[in-house]
Structure 1
Amino acid sequence: MRLPFVFVLLTVMIDAMGIGLVMPIMPQLIVEVQGGTLADAALWGGVLSTAFAAMQFVFGPILGNLSDAYGRRRVLLVSLFVMALDYVVMAIAGSIWLLLIGRLVGGITAATHATAAAFMADVSKPEDKAANFGLLGAAFGMGFVLGPVIGGLLAEYGTRAPFWAAAALSALSFGLGLMVMPETVTDKTRRAFCLRRANPVNALRAIAALPGVRPLLWVYFLYSVSIYVYPAIWSYFTTERFGWSPQMIGLSLGVYGIGMAAVQGGLIRPATRHLGERMTIICGMGFEVISFALLAFLTNGTIALMLIPITALGAVITPALQALTSRATPDSQQGELQGVLTSLHALSMVISPLLMTSVFAWFIRPDTSLYLPGAPFLLALVLMAAGFLLFLRARPAVA
């Protein structure tokens, strides 16, 4: 099982690289194909992110239920194959509408992380789940180290070069999966596919009905909406506030990826062992609140870079929260759970980009009464604080 375990981590890393590769060039690409100002590009960037997330919201439970019925391998490989084709479409897109179609298709197939998490749940002992989910986060973080840096460098060859690189990485991952990925869904844990339960609302109801799980789902949602402020506005915020180039944006995202990988790959295991999953989440939320408060009013790019390691400490939240939720869910519903979490994350991605980019655009308008590019971070702070208060009242059970 070691080689498939490594493959799943590599798949998540390559997936993150594909996402990170294109982030530094999105503002320039949107202006290139659509015209307008940076504020206009930020709004279109929010639309593209929301379209991607809306498809994830609808299809996350469907793919999760399909993986419970037909296996992780099949869902993972199909997703990777279509994802590679999607990046090719993005590479040749000459209009904002073709970019939008590409994001819609990409959102449907972007199930690699959820399927990988279900695989981890299949092969992990209950006491190891937080650490193994942390390894997935670390792999994602390493992808963010490599992806934005490489994307920033590839931007020298044009705004389309990162998309071709992302397509190649997805195709490579697909080829590796064909060779080494086993099936971890057994006849004992296999659950027949039910279209009614694959509906996002019904899937959410089924998981939320488990003892103590509903509050955790609300915390996960509020956390996701707030934390998505980073990918939603970082490229636009740092361009406006600090005048950073695509290369500098890529470097900053790479620094964050290193910090996130170090936290989730190395810190999560001792943190949950000594503090427990609950206290680990509380501490992580505290670090995020501090980071949001500082970034909201920063005017110095060097200090922003120095703050990134502190911001990365909040990365302990996701694996610890996933572990608490997974331990409260039966083995036969792990894929369904991951589909629900994917939907909640996707719903946050529908809401957060439009919300955060709209707030950003409002506070950088030429006629604004208060110039504050960091305003979205204040909104994220409020949402994180709400999730923190709700989590203090949550008492999940163990399935």
Structure 2
Amino acid sequence: MSSEVKPPSLINSRFVLITVFLDILGIGLIIPVLPRMVAMFAPQPDQQAYWYGAIVAAYAIMQFFCAPLLGALSDRFGRRPILLICVLGLGLNFFLMTQAPSLIWLLVIRAMGGMTAGNIAVANAYIADVSKPENRGKALGKIGAMFGMGFICGPMLGGLLGEQHYQYPFYLAAIVSLCNFSYGLVALPESLPLNNRRAFSFTRANPLHNLKGLTQLKNVGALVWSMGFSLFAQFTMQTTWVLSTELRFGWTPLQNGISLFMVGVCSVVMQGFLLGGVIRRLGEAKTAMWGLSSSCLVLIMYGVTQQGWIMYLLIPCNILGYAAAPAIQAIFSKAVDAKSQGAVMGSLSSLGSVMSVCATLLGTSLLAQVGHFPKGNILLGAPFFMAAFAQGMALLIAMKHFSNVKKLI
């Protein structure tokens, strides 16, 4: 394969999409069983919630500091080498987790995994490189669709294997990631031409500097806060879902795998097939607001329901919610030139990491406080109510922002 970078119009983005799919497949495999791995060392529900929160937060903290660094490095050296390094690191991390002799080591190893967790930001930059501005929302939606495909296959397989032994999904995740690395090494072309690369700067790699820079982008402003609250809601649900359903409904890894399988299907249907038409009809601003509204309402319903089977019915009711994130990402992407896509996507990843840390610590701590209540107590849904409040704040901020932008036009 020639090392020459082809024009963006000639690059086939399926390579990076498959890479993202295999990446998320590996992550999805361990979601239903990570709480069970923690439970092997911490048998009490409150201990499980606190340690699980600490382990997930450690991963997110390292991702916060390293994602903009990886994004800036990809602006300097290209997307391909950074993506490959991240995928290789992820595979090795999955294997090391099976060898952890204690919770402390499990926390340390998971934190090391967060160092290479900025690959999605680089993948977003890759897609931004090869797509035209008017098609960027749809193109970034394909990344979301690959997330969904990974969550269709990963949690289901993880749940099935976790019923046999909690370590089996980690071994399979390691194998998948290493196969992903081998595939990318052979098939993944570079997307960033030499003339669009920029010198590395530690200032741009500083996550705090980049977060501040996001608020200064043209026609973006307060939308950063909306994105932050929405990510907080999303990560609160993600990090407490398995623990919450185990406490509230007595779900097994397989049942959680089925529920996450349904989430993946809805994500793929919206982001892979419907998103382009939705954005063309509504525009990116209205798509984002309708998606945030849908998520807020469904999160409230997640919290109040007392029957596990109702959760399965509610998941497809939020299909429009999966359109909000790529619509907002497209707005951010259009606010910068081609040379800064990696840094901006890395900054968005850092914003996600900050919200992941906050959501994980607050959500699992809240769950630990209410976890001793008997099944059927509405307070067991407290993490979902907190997520619904955050999503409501995201909606209000977005409405005000788009209203102000419209007045300026």
Q: Are residue 174 (structure 1) and residue 181 (structure 2) matched?
A: yes
Q: Determine the structure 1 residue equivalent to 2:312.
A: 305
8 Å contact from structure 1 (residues 364, 371) kept in 2? no
CA distance in 1, matches of 2:129, 2:395: 29
Q: Are residue 254 (structure 1) and residue 258 (structure 2) matched?
A: no
8 Å contact from structure 2 (residues 284, 327) kept in 1? yes
If the length of structure 2 is used for normalisation, what is the TM-score? Answer: 0.93
SS at match of 2:321: helix
8 Å contact from structure 1 (residues 137, 261) kept in 2? yes
SS at match of 1:24: coil
Counterparts of 1:115-154 in structure 2, within 5 Å, are 115-154=122-161
Query: By how many angstroms is 1:83 displaced?
Result: 1.1
Which ranges of structure 2 fall in alignment gaps of 5 or more residues?
A: 1-8
Q: Determine the structure 2 residue equivalent to 1:44.
A: 51
CA distance in 2, matches of 1:295, 1:26: 22
Counterparts of 1:101-116 in structure 2, within 5 Å, are 101-116=108-123
Q: Deviations over 1:53-108 (max 9, x none)?
A: 00111111111100001100010001111111111101211211121111111111
SS at match of 2:199: coil
CA distance in 1, matches of 2:192, 2:378: 54
SS at match of 1:211: coil
Q: Determine the structure 2 residue equivalent to 1:25.
A: 33
Instruction: Work out the percentage of aligned pairs sharing the same amino acid.
Output: 36
CA distance in 2, matches of 1:47, 1:240: 19
8 Å contact from structure 1 (residues 27, 38) kept in 2? no
Query: By how many angstroms is 1:45 displaced?
Result: 1.0
Q: Determine the structure 2 residue equivalent to 1:6.
A: 14
CA distance in 1, matches of 2:21, 2:191: 21
CA distance in 2, matches of 1:2, 1:45: 44
Q: Determine the structure 1 residue equivalent to 2:393.
A: 386
Q: Deviations over 1:126-158 (max 9, x none)?
A: 111111111110111010010000001111331
Q: 1:371 to 1:308 in 2, by over 3 A?
A: closer
Q: Determine the structure 2 residue equivalent to 1:199.
A: 206
Q: Deviations over 1:302-360 (max 9, x none)?
A: 11101110123201011100001101111111000011000000001110011111111
Q: For the aligned residues, what is the CA RMSD? A: 1.7
Q: Deviations over 1:272-305 (max 9, x none)?
A: 0001111111110111111011111101111110
1:71 to 78, 99, 106: 78
If the length of structure 1 is used for normalisation, what is the TM-score? Answer: 0.95
- Between the two proteins, the alignment pairs up a number of residues equal to 395
8 Å contact from structure 2 (residues 71, 121) kept in 1? yes
Which ranges of structure 1 fall in alignment gaps of 5 or more residues?
A: none
CA distance in 2, matches of 1:126, 1:106: 33
Q: Determine the structure 2 residue equivalent to 1:15.
A: 23
